[in-house]
């Protein structure tokens, strides 16, 4: 069984882009989503969520973080309802650059589910990924922290072990492998190995043409997913 979210691509500029530059890349991702039919998540700074949502059609605008806060007191925290109202329909949680306690992560996943916000929860190891899978996020990103931004991908055995372990806990979770992803061949490989999706930051922003790199990655994921499905059907 595969996740109903598969296949997908996450375009994650982090805080390298904002304002007009963020929107320009979001619109390139939007064009790729329309052309390929692929589900594409696009992260942006909180202040750009409404701006990007109102100027794109096909991408899923994604917050960089969220908290379990409820309306009321909570000065300076990230209210889920406010993110949803601005246009966010997904959020990253527990990224290596913004870690959460397991207790807060569990509560925030539950709050997101109440509002219809998809969750992309991050884990830095198979052990942590196994623990987080018990909270049933929509997508689980398992990536060794020391590979982030290096251009070096995890070996094939890491990907296949993650897929097997998480599928055994909750086959509805979308499995994302993304550390070190730099090119279309990388996303093709991890999806062929069993991941539901992939994504990148430096692999896209560092490309000569970031918009073209998004298109190449989107097309590669669609191709890999179709080939894997054909192989599995024939087995």
For the segment 81-104, the average pLDDT, to the nearest whole number, is: 97
What's the average model confidence in pLDDT over 138-156? 70
- Per-residue confidence (pLDDT) for residue 235, from 0 to 100: 66
CA distances from 8 to 74, 170, 175, 220 (A): 34, 18, 10, 11
pLDDT, tens digit, 9 for 90 and up, residues 20-69: 999 999 999 999 999 999 999 999 999 999 999 999 999 999 999 999 99
Assess whether 143 carries a catalytic annotation: yes
7 prior amide bond cis, ω within 30:
yes
Higher pLDDT, 178 or 143: 178
- Catalytically annotated residue among 95, 118, 216, 219: 95
Question: CB neighbours (10 Å) of residue 210?
Answer: 21
- pLDDT tops 60 at residue 178: yes
CA 193 vs CA 83, 186, 212: distances in Å? 34, 11, 24
> Is residue 143 scored above 80 in pLDDT?
no
**pLDDT at residue number 152:** 57
- Res. 210: pLDDT tops 70: yes
Nearest Cα neighbor of 7 from 191, 143, 146, 185 is 191
> Which of 54, 81, 114, 143 is the catalytic position?
143
Domains of the chain in start order, with CATH, are 8-234 (3.20.20.70)
Q: Kindly tell me if the per-residue pLDDT of 4 is higher than 90.
A: no
pTM of the model: 0.94
Nearest alpha carbon to residue 133 among 102, 155, 156, 157? 102
Q: Would residue 85 show up in a list of annotated catalytic residues for this protein?
A: no
Does pLDDT of 233 surpass 90? no
């Amino acid at each position: 069984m595969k996740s109903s979210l598969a296949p997908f691509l996450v375009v994650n500029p982090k805080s390298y882009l904002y304002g007009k530059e963020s929107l320009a890349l979001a619109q390139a991702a939007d064009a790729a989503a329309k052309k390929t039919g692929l589900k594409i998540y696009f992260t942006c700074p909180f202040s750009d969520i409404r701006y990007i949502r109102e100027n794109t059609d096909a991408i899923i605008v994604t917050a960089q973080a969220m908290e379990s806060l409820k309306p009321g007191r909570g000065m300076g925290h990230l209210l889920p309802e406010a993110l949803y109202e601005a246009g966010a329909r997904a959020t990253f949680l527990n990224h290596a650059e913004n870690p959460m306690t397991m207790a807060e992560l569990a509560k925030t996943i539950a709050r997101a589910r109440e509002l219809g916000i998809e969750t992309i929860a991050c884990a830095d190891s198979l052990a942590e990924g196994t623990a987080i899978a018990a909270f049933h996020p929509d997508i689980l990103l398992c990536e060794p922290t020391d590979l982030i931004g290096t251009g070096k991908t995890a070996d094939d055995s890491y990907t296949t072990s993650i897929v097997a372990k998480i599928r055994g806990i909750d086959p509805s979770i979308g499995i994302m492998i993304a550390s070190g992803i730099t090119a279309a061949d990388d996303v093709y490989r991890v999806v062929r190995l069993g991941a539901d999706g992939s994504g990148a930051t430096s692999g896209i922003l560092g490309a000569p043409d970031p918009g073209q790199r998004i298109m190449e990655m989107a097309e590669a994921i669609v191709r890999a997913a179709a080939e894997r499905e054909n192989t599995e059907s024939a087995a």
